[in-house]
Amino acid sequence: MAYQETVTTGYGTQVKQSFKKIATGFTLFLGATAMLWWNEGNSVKTADMLEEAQGVCVEMEDPNKKDASLEGQLVCGTAMTATTDLLTDKDFGFSVNAISMKRSVEYYQWDEKRTEETKQKLDGSEKKVVTYDYNLKWSSSPIGSKHFKEHSTHVNVVLAEFEDDEQWAEHVSFGAYNLNNSLIHSINAYEPLRPDMSDDMLRVLDKTIQASYERHYTKKEGLNSNDYNFVHVSDGQLYLGLDPNDSKVGDVRINFEKVAPASEVTVVAVVDGDGFKPFKAKNGYTLEKLVMGRKDMNQFFENEQETNTFNTWAYRILGIVMVIGALKLIFGFVVTLTRIVPFLSTIVGWGVGVICTVLGVVWSLLVIAVAWLFYRPIVGIALLAIVGVLVWIFALGGKKKLKQLAVNQQQIK
């Protein structure tokens, strides 16, 4: 069931709020600009580092045998990992031989989703209808229900609370060599782990969960005292509640995973005695990486260059969107001021949107171009030329569109 409330904001209040957003807009604008500049420099330096590394890297023919000639060299090799370390979950009392053991906890909870529908009134005020919907879902943490708008019928409880946990082996070999912590923590071939708990531990946990259940719900009669009614163990999961197939608010499920001791991995790093250390390029950037599976040297560096390109474009797009959003916050007061005249507000709103988009794209490309002038002059000059063309195209197209909107509004009147 949904809960609704209606909030009306006067014209004067909207104007005050729009002016307050200007400072936020300037902060976002500066942050986005700095990110765009950093991204271009980082992209170039990363590409240069990878190119330099690939030029000196050698294939490690057999990591299962130590080779003194490889000392101090950047190598690319594939081998199986191994460890004899035992990792122990102290809360549930079991151990496992693994490179990593991880548990993640989820709680069955009511969740409140807030949606808004805003309408402008003729007097310049704003009518906002806020709808609160409630649904049950598995959450990574308990959800407080006291702040819910409709909290009397949507009360969250939890039968027990546990923290997420992740443990790593300290001693992991790679053929005849040893991996450092950075490389060990890059091994991510997780698989489900069945929690091997003792009968005593299961009994104690079952009684604890049953007592918690009965504090929140009606006491269940006819429970079989010889079974674990509130603790259910399956491959990779521990379920705390009466029935895993009929979840109630407060039920808890704990997922266990492990990385098996033997995993095939590829390491790219500098040989340092019986271990590895990062490669340091001339520009100060470093490379030390472990990837799952078998990769030859060319595959590895090709994938790394592709990843660098993808990340660069992702940050560029994010930066451009942030700049446009910042400009809309800065100039949003112009639209708010005209809301007292609806048809004018529509034209101004469209115009501000176009101008902010044009300025945002142009400014972002300008920052990128200047950054490339600093790092890659030829590419930077080409980008500056593109910026000039875009300014001319957008300015001409925007002018025509504004004229057309004005004509349409006059015809409507």
Model pLDDT for residues 257-315, shown as the tens digit of each residue: 999 999 999 999 999 999 999 999 999 999 999 999 999 999 999 999 999 999 999 99
Helix (H) or strand (E) holding 329: helix 297-337
In the predicted structure, residue 397 carries a pLDDT above the cut 70: no
Of 79, 84, 85, which Cα lies nearest the Cα of 64? 79
Cα-flanking dihedrals φ and ψ of residue 105, to 5°?
-110, 140
What's the confidence (pLDDT) of residue 228? Answer: 73
Report pLDDT for 229: 86
Task: Tell me what the pLDDT averaged over the chain comes to.
Answer: 85
What CA–CA distances, in Å, run from 263 to 100, 119, 172?
A: 12, 58, 11
Say which DSSP state 320 is in. Answer: H
User: Do 128 and 14 touch, CB atoms closer than 8 A?
Assistant: no
* pLDDT tens figures, 117-175: 776 655 555 667 788 899 999 999 999 999 898 888 899 999 999 999 999 999 999 99
Return the number of other C-beta atoms located less than 10 Å from residue 166's C-beta. 12
Q: Is residue 239 within a helix (H) or strand (E), and if so which, with residue range?
A: strand 237-240
Degrees, nearest 5: CA angle 160-166-172: 155
C-beta separation of 240 from 207 below 8 A: no
> Which whole number is the average pLDDT over 31-45?
93
Segment holding 100, helix H or strand E = strand 100-120
Q: How far is CA 287 from the centre of its chain?
A: 23
Residues in the chain: 413
Specify the amino acid at residue 8: T
Give the phi and the psi of residue 293 in degrees, each rounded to 5: 85, -175
Tell me if 120 sits within 8 A of 342, measured CB to CB: yes
Give pLDDT, residue 131: 86
Nearest to 290 by CA among 75, 55, 45, 66: 75
3-state secondary structure of 185: coil
pLDDT category at 373 given cuts 50, 70, 90 is confident
pLDDT at residue number 217: 85
Which two tokens mark 339? 């809301």
Helix, coil or strand: residue 259: strand
User: Three-state SS for 180?
Assistant: coil
Of 272, 278, 284, 4, which Cα lies nearest the Cα of 132?
4
Strands 100-120 and 252-259: antiparallel
* Structure-token match 């191994």, residue found: 82
Residue 412 has pLDDT above 80, yes or no: no
Cα–Cα distances in Å, from 185 out to 167, 196, 291, 300, 392?
Answer: 10, 24, 11, 19, 51
What is the per-residue pLDDT for 152?
83
CA torsion angle 199 201 202 204 (round to 10): 120
Amino acid occupying residue 345: S
Calpha distance 304→292 (Å, rounded): 14
d(CA 3, CA 283): 58
Which 8-state DSSP code applies to residue 243? -
| pLDDT at res. 413 | 47
Give the span between the Cα atoms of 262 and 99, in whole angstroms: 8
- Mean per-residue pLDDT for 92-114? 95
What pTM value is reported for the model?
0.78
pLDDT of residue 330 exceeding 50, the answer is yes
Using N-to-C axis directions, what is the helix angle for 297-337 and 11-56, rounded to 10°? 160
